[in-house]
Amino acid sequence: MQELNQQEIAQVSGGYYSGGSIFDTLGNVVELYGQTLYNVGEALTTAVVGTGNALLGLLTGQHA
């Protein structure tokens, strides 16, 4: 899986809204929330894969 850089995340999420209306503000809050969830998901995925591979290595006698 290829990680997205900040510019790609902004393009996918709609970027930054600077109009000043309540909807622009809500759009920015949703974008920030989505970006935070993406980062948490990425960290959890990395932890699960690393832990799983380490356990598999211990069970099979192989070193990762």
Output the pLDDT for position 56: 93
Q: How many domains does the chain have?
A: 1
Instruction: Specify if 10 maps to a domain.
Output: yes
**What is the separation of C-alpha 27 from the centre of its chain, rounded to a whole number of angstroms?**
18
pTM exceeds 0.75 for this model: no
Instruction: Give the structural domain span for 10.
Output: 6-60
Q: Tens of pLDDT along 51-61?
A: 999 999 999 98
Whether the pLDDT of residue 16 is over 80: the answer is no
Helix (H) or strand (E) holding 21: none
For residues 12 and 30, is the Cβ–Cβ distance under 8 A?
no
d(CA 19, CA 25): 8
Instruction: Specify if 17 maps to a domain.
Output: yes
Instruction: Specify if 1 maps to a domain.
Output: no
